[in-house]
Homo-oligomer: A and B are copies of this chain.
Amino acid sequence: MKLTIKELAGRLGAELTGGAGSPDEPITGVGPVERASESEVTFVTDDKHRAAMTQSRAGAAIVAARIDGFNRPQLIVTNVNTALIKTLNLFAPELKAAPEGIDPTARLGENVKTAKGVSIGPGVVIDDGVEIGSNSIVGSGCKIGENSKLGENCRLDSNVVIYHNCSLGNNVVVQANTTIGSTGFGYSFIDGAHRLIPHNGGVVIEDFVEIGANCCIDRAKFGHTTIGAGTKIDNLVQVAHNVVIGKCCLIAALVGISGSCRLGDGVVLGGQVGLKDNIEIGAGTMVGAQAGVMGSVPAGQKLLGTPAVKKEEALRIMCLSMRLPKMAEQLKQLSKRIERLEAAEDDKK
């Protein structure tokens, strides 16, 4: 894909301001401020970008307001992020569409329903009673267990495994090697052995959820493990049985959410965060990376640390921990001074 700067401005509905370059110069891609080449357009979404623009070699820039230090054409837009996504889509590598239809090497059970435009890849195994909505794509090597359902416009990348009785809404994306509906880690210790508690429940994944690669979403013992609409999950994340995640949450990589946790809408968990089982995280709460949350938390908090406490408090404790050597020394000095005072006091007796 090649567009002139002027054409790109037109596509974005951007106001084009002049600069040293001609608006008829071609743009062949998008690059970050510090690495974009002369044939690439860059974008400015924060002050760090803005400061670096004087050094940028980019052929043009998408900005919210004209930047003085950059003398190439600028495309002024209302929302740089929206324009950036549009631009990246214009310059996305062209890939062959998944072929419509069911690959002859796919194995479908009885009473499988596939709607219009569905693509089922090579080596896929789909068990009885599965339903797949229109235009959904099931990549090679996937397995979908009995009676599971996919909505419309879903995409399962290669080697995803979905067990029985799981339900995915519309526009759900699941990246490669992820497992959905595995049996959770629930045992009773009876007569000297751990006995598995049967997991009769399923998994419900609502519309527009996106799940990264190599994740695990366990099925419920009763009812459903649920992931709310619009929630996005990074790679290598563990969601245990009976967890209920709200809408529009962001869960970063290597997070572990223990059994029966309930997350409100818009919760954000940083990388490697761990949640104790059976706790509730209020809507909009943000938990910093590597934190360990040991109890329920109201809405709108910012947490950090293990055990997780309010972020400012955690940072203060971290700072003071760094000063522990100094504090130990101060204690020693105070003790000596007291000894001297006590000795002086004794002398007087």
Contact = CB atoms under 8 A, between A and B. Distances in A.
Interface of A: 29-32, 35, 79, 81-82, 84-85, 88-89, 91-93, 95-96, 105, 107, 109, 121-123, 125, 127-128, 139-141, 143, 145-147, 157-159, 161, 163-165, 175-179, 182-183, 185, 187-188, 190, 192-198, 200, 208, 210, 212-216, 218, 221-223, 230, 232, 234-236, 238, 240, 248, 250, 252-254, 256, 258, 271-272, 274, 276, 289-290, 292, 306-307, 309, 313, 316-318, 320-325, 327-328, 330-331, 334-335, 337-338, 341-342, 344-345
A44 B323 CA distance: 43
Given A175-B183, A194-B250, A331-B334, 20 more contacts: A30-B222, A31-B223, A85-B190, A85-B197, A88-B200, A93-B147, A96-B127, A122-B123, A125-B140, A125-B158, A139-B143, A159-B177, A254-B274, A274-B290, A289-B292, A316-B325, A317-B321, A320-B325, A321-B321, A338-B341
Nearest to A235: B216
A139 B146 CA distance: 14
Contacts of A122: 107, 123, 125
Nearest to A195: B85
A125 B85 CA distance: 30
A47 B164 CA distance: 33
Nearest to A45: B188
Q: For the complex, would chain A's binding face be called helix, strand, loop or mixed by DSSP majority?
A: loop
Contacts of A91: 200
Contact of A182 (B147, B192, B212, B323): B212
B195 A230 contact: no
B223 A236 contact: no
Contacts of A218: 235
Copy count, this protein chain: 3
Contacts of A92: 198, 200
Nearest to A252: B185
Nearest to A328: B320
Contacts of A128: 96
A53 to B, nearest CB: 16
B146 A96 contact: yes
A97 to B, nearest CB: 11
A235 B235 contact: no
B176 A176 contact: no
